[in-house]
Amino acid sequence: KNEVEQSPQNLTAQEGEFITINCSYSVGISALHWLQQHPGGGIVSLFMLSSGKKKHGRLIATINIQEKHSSLHITASHPRDSAVYICAVKPGDSNYQLIWGAGTKLIIKP
Amino acid sequence: NAGVTQTPKFRILKIGQSMTLQCTQDMNHNYMYWYRQDPGMGLKLIYYSVGAGITDKGEVPNGYNVSRSTTEDFPLRLELAAPSQTSVYFCASSLEGYEQYFGPGTRLTVT
C-alpha cells in the first residue's frame, strides 16, 4: 500500500464545475504540499499546510490531521486548470524528505 | 528574483557520454534537491543537499553525482549515460525543508 494515495487518478469535468481532489496518507506528518504540474511539464507549488484550510483565488486546500486526509478544491473550474495535481507529505521525523502521491490528472472541457 | 533556473532545457546524449545539468537558485535557500520524472510517473529523489558542502543520496542515486560548493548552485553530473537515464530532471530548493520551488526542468534523451 502506498503511503500517499490520491483519488481520483483521472478526472474530466465541464468548465464551471466544482472540483475535488483527495489525498490520504498513512504516516505522521508535519506538513502537506499541493503542487500543480502543467501540460508543458513545469511544477508550481500551490499550498503547504499543516492544519485547517488555505485559500488562494479559486483554489482551496483543507487538511484533517486526525483523519490523515487532505482535499484540494477548485471552484468555477476553467480549461486552464487542466493539469496534474500532486500531493506530497513531509513525514514528522524528516527535515527534508517528501513522500509523493502519484498525481491526479484533471481535464476541464470548455 | 529568477527563482530556480536550470540549463540546458533539452539535451540528447549518446550512450557512454557524460554531462552536467546546472541548477541555480537566488532565494538563499539552504535545501536543494534533484528529482527525475520518467514518462507518466511521479518524481523520484536523486540527491539532496542541506547546505553548502553537504550532500546526500535520495532514492535513485546510481549513475549520478552532485556537489554543492555554494548556496546558490547544485550541479548534477551524469557519468557514462545510459538509456535508463532518459527522463526529465527537476531541480528544486526550499528554506529549511519546507515548501519546495521547482526549476523548469531539463528533458534528457540518451540514445
| pLDDT digit string, tens, across residues A18-51 | 999 999 999 999 899 999 998 877 899 999 999 9
> B110 forms bridges with which residues in the sheet?
B13
Output the CA torsion sign for B5, B74, A34, B109.
Answer: positive
- Tell me the torsion sign for CA atoms A95, A97, A102, A106: positive
Better pLDDT: B37 or A92: B37
> What is the pLDDT, as a whole number, of residue A1?
60
Instruction: Please report the pLDDT score of residue A44 as a whole number.
Output: 93
pLDDT at residue A8 greater than cutoff 80? yes
Query: What percentage of chain B exceeds 70 in pLDDT?
Result: 99
Q: What is the pLDDT of residue A98?
A: 86
Closest CA to B66 of B30, B109, B23: B23
**Element (DSSP H or E) covering residue B36:** strand B31-37
Q: Residue A102: which of A1, A28, A7 has the closest Cα? A: A7
Q: How far is the C-alpha of A52 from the C-alpha of A61, rounded, in Å?
A: 8
The grid coordinates listed for A31 are 506538513
| pLDDT(A88) > 80 | yes
Q: Which pLDDT belongs to residue A6?
A: 94
Across chain A, mean pLDDT equals: 93
Residues B58-68 have a mean pLDDT of: 95
Computed over every residue of chain B, the mean pLDDT equals: 94
| 3-state secondary structure (DSSP) of residue A10 | strand
The nearest CA of chain B is from the CA of A109 a distance in Å of: 21
The reported pLDDT for the residue numbered A95 is: 67
Please say whether the beta carbons of B81 and B16 come within 8 A: yes
At A2 the pLDDT is 74
What pLDDT was estimated at residue B2? 80
Contacts of A79 (CB under 8 A, 6+ apart): A15, A108, A109, A110
Residues above pLDDT 70, as percent of chain A: 98
User: How high is the pLDDT of residue B39?
Assistant: 83
Chain B contact present for A100, CB below 8 A: yes
Cβ–Cβ under 8 Å, residues B74 and B49: yes
Judge: B101–A45 Cβ closer than 8 Å, yes or no: yes
Pick the residue of A34, A35, A43, A87 with the most B CBs within 10 A to test the interface with B by mutation: A43
Higher pLDDT: A20 or B42? It is A20
Q: Which of B7, B16, B20 is nearest to B78 (CA)?
A: B20
Q: Name the DSSP letter for residue A68.
A: T
pLDDT tens for B15-30 read 999 999 999 999 999 9
User: By the 8 A CB rule, do B23 and B48 touch?
Assistant: no
Cβ–Cβ of A45/B99 closer than 8 Å?
Answer: yes
Give Cα A33 distance to the centre of its chain. 7
Which among A48, A19, A46, A37 has a CA at the least distance from the CA of B43?
A: A37
**Residue A16: is its pLDDT beyond 80?**
yes
Compute the distance between CA of residue A28 and CA of residue A41 in angstroms, rounded to an integer.
30
**Percent with pLDDT over 90 in chain A:** 80
Joined grid coordinates for residue B53: 558542502
Residue of A nearest to B97 (CA): A96
